[in-house]
Amino acid sequence: MRMTYTSDVWWKNAVVYCLDVETFKDGNGDGVGDFRGLTQQIDYLAGLGVTCLWLMPFFPTPNKDDGYDITDFYSIDPRLGTLGDFVEFMRTAHDRGLRVIADLVVNHTSDQHPWFKEARSSRDSPRRDWYVWSDKPEPDNPEQIVFPDKESSVWEYDEGSGQYYLHSFYRHQPDLNVGNPEVRDEITRILGFWMELGLSGFRVDAVPFLIENVNPRLANPHEFLADLRAFMTRRKGGSILLGEVNVPYKDLIAYFGDGLGDQITMCFDFIGMQNAWLSLARNDATPLANALRERPKPPKDCQWAMFLRNHDELTLDKLTEEEREEVFRAFGPKKEMQIFGRGLRRRLPTMLGGDLRRIKMAYSLMFSLPGTPVIFYGEEIGMGENLEEEGRMAVRIPMQWSEDGGFSQAPPVRDIPEGSFAPDRVNVADQKRDTGSLLRWFQLLIERYRECPELAWGEYTVLETGHPAVLAHRCDADGATVVVAHNLCDTAQDVELRLDGLERFQLTDLLVDGTLEVSDQGVVRLPMDPHGCRWLRASRPEIPPEDASVKSL
């Protein structure tokens, strides 16, 4: 593929790294991560190979919901630094070739936001209609309640004004009314402000809630997303919207903009993620293979975002109750490991019992699945969780830089886990010196992923392997092909793959030394180690493998 073309649509094969400034690195010794500390670690992130940083909320906040309850969309939380610190961070990130996106949390505000204070001051307030009010709330649907451990309704009575306000999440987070043109205009100002400071886009929080919970109902809720995308394209052509859209495939394609692709640029593949965990629990690739076969093709210049873990609970809400219980039994059998009855509050390495071979295979699988990989900070070194923290905060722990923690010289903002995943066992400094470490494996995977644009750009086909534990797929683009296989079980397997059109081609292993030959009948025999993974580039014998993906001009 032509590098000039892939760089124009950079998000198609980016490597996105999500981090929380508060828990990444403390730069002033007060125990709280900040932009000065983050800036000092830019070279680490660039050396890892990531191409885009996704920042969790860094705005002023009462911090009742880890920063997702915002009181000012145009500033920096004082604990994390100043706008000057932010600009220095952006300049340094751009100098190292890193793009930056940030959370766009405009479904709601904090109830301490000046907008809401003004709105609740009187029914005649100019900002009254910036939120969703009702004299008599609609009956609650239990499925609408996102946090059943904390809330029993999505409506809260406001004694001062005698009406109920809508809150799709916590009661201290009143929903904004995007049905109001003034609200929509303000949201575009927020986007424009941060884009002027260098952001390349936004991860949009809870997209379905953003466009559906409005009063009165928008005639076409998706027009708002199209308007946001159009505004961003006018301001900065290469900007993106990364959408948190956890709905079935048949409903999700509309969030891309159907065939036009003029709304959300990238959508997280929640269905693929949940079926990946079901496959890992069963040591059977069938659920994930079926999901990949059923997944619709996104519009041109849109993309799927692939992940196995993120900053929230590991939601399993799209699995059946029986399937969800299977995953619970395999990876979170204790009640304190589960949350909301639908998810797990653990990180991947602890769920896989610290088995490095299996952990490496799981991340190889994630990087090779068709789409753009998204990493949660600390995954690259195999950090665990702290179940002593409340709810989803269990996985949002301080980054472990050295054997004594290295996050701060003061007591950290959150406790660091003890035991086999404590900093003296899991940290950046040690893994930098260990060629067999998970950190070095991540660097290799990222390097190979970036060398294989077919994985992100190509047409993919799930291959028959003859063994339920082995998932194999091929990605074809511009006459170039990459074949990938993963063994989800703990016994060695030999599989045969039919590779039509690749008769007498050579397959070069990209993760270890070695080559395989495709027979005259287009069949290759592929030995797979227990929890093994193979990335193979197809090339004619006379063409060097490194040139096989380059389109002739």
According to the model, what pLDDT value does residue 6 have?
72
CA-only gyration radius of the chain, Å: 24
Structure tokens at 219: 């005639």
Distance CA 184, CA 201 (A): 17
**Is 254's pLDDT higher than 80?**
yes
> What angle, rounded to 10 degrees, do the helices at 222-235 and 181-196 form?
30
% of the chain residues with pLDDT over 90: 91
Catalytic residue among 244, 269, 313, 454: 244
Q: How many Cβ atoms are within 10 Å of 243's Cβ, its own excluded?
A: 26
- Could you give the C-alpha distances from 231 to 189, 239, 512, in angstroms and in order? 10, 10, 46
Model confidence band, residue 336 (pLDDT cutoffs 50, 70, 90): very high
According to the model, what pLDDT value does residue 138 have?
82
Closest C-alpha among 485, 479, 486 to residue 501: 479
- Could you give the C-alpha distances from 474 to 12, 64, 281, 368, 382, in angstroms and in order? 17, 46, 24, 10, 28
pLDDT in tens, 511-535: 999 999 999 999 999 999 999 999 9
Distance CA 177, CA 527 (A): 57
**Is 256's pLDDT higher than 80?**
yes
Is residue 309 within 8 A of residue 396, CB to CB? The reply is: no
Distance CA 180, CA 177 (A): 6
Helix, strand, coil % (nearest 5) of the chain? 35, 20, 45
Catalytic residue check, 517: no
Catalytic residue among 22, 85, 205, 454: 205
According to the model, what pLDDT value does residue 553 have?
28
Is residue 535 within 8 A of residue 511, CB to CB? The reply is: yes
Catalytic residue check, 244: yes
According to the model, what pLDDT value does residue 358 have?
98
**Is 542's pLDDT higher than 90?**
no
Is residue 118 within 8 A of residue 181, CB to CB? The reply is: no
Distance CA 135, CA 131 (A): 13
The residue type found at 410 is: A
According to the model, what pLDDT value does residue 216 have?
57
Model confidence band, residue 552 (pLDDT cutoffs 50, 70, 90): very low
Report the 3 state secondary structure along 394-462: HHCCCCCCECCECCCCCCCCCCCCCHHHCCCCCCHHHHHCCCCCHHHHHHHHHHHHHHCCHHHHCEEEE
DSSP conformation letters of 53-91: EEEPP-S----SSTT-S-S-TTS--TTT--HHHHHHHHH
Whether the bond between 216 and the residue before it is cis, its omega within 30 degrees of 0, is: yes
* Enclosing H/E stretch for 535: strand 533-539
Closest C-alpha among 173, 156, 181 to residue 209: 173
According to the model, what pLDDT value does residue 375 have?
98
Is residue 283 within 8 A of residue 275, CB to CB? The reply is: no
According to the model, what pLDDT value does residue 272 have?
98
Closest C-alpha among 373, 315, 316, 383 to residue 348: 383
pLDDT in tens, 137-188: 888 777 788 998 899 999 999 999 999 999 999 999 999 999 999 999 999 9
**Is 350's pLDDT higher than 80?**
yes
Mean of all residue pLDDT scores within the chain = 95
Is 242 strand, coil or helix?
Answer: strand
According to the model, what pLDDT value does residue 73 have?
98
**Is 56's pLDDT higher than 80?**
yes
pLDDT in tens, 352-408: 999 999 999 999 999 999 999 999 999 999 999 999 999 999 999 999 999 999 999
The residue type found at 290 is: N
Distance CA 191, CA 194 (A): 6
According to the model, what pLDDT value does residue 212 have?
77
Is 327 strand, coil or helix?
Answer: helix
Distance CA 337, CA 351 (A): 10
Distance CA 310, CA 244 (A): 11
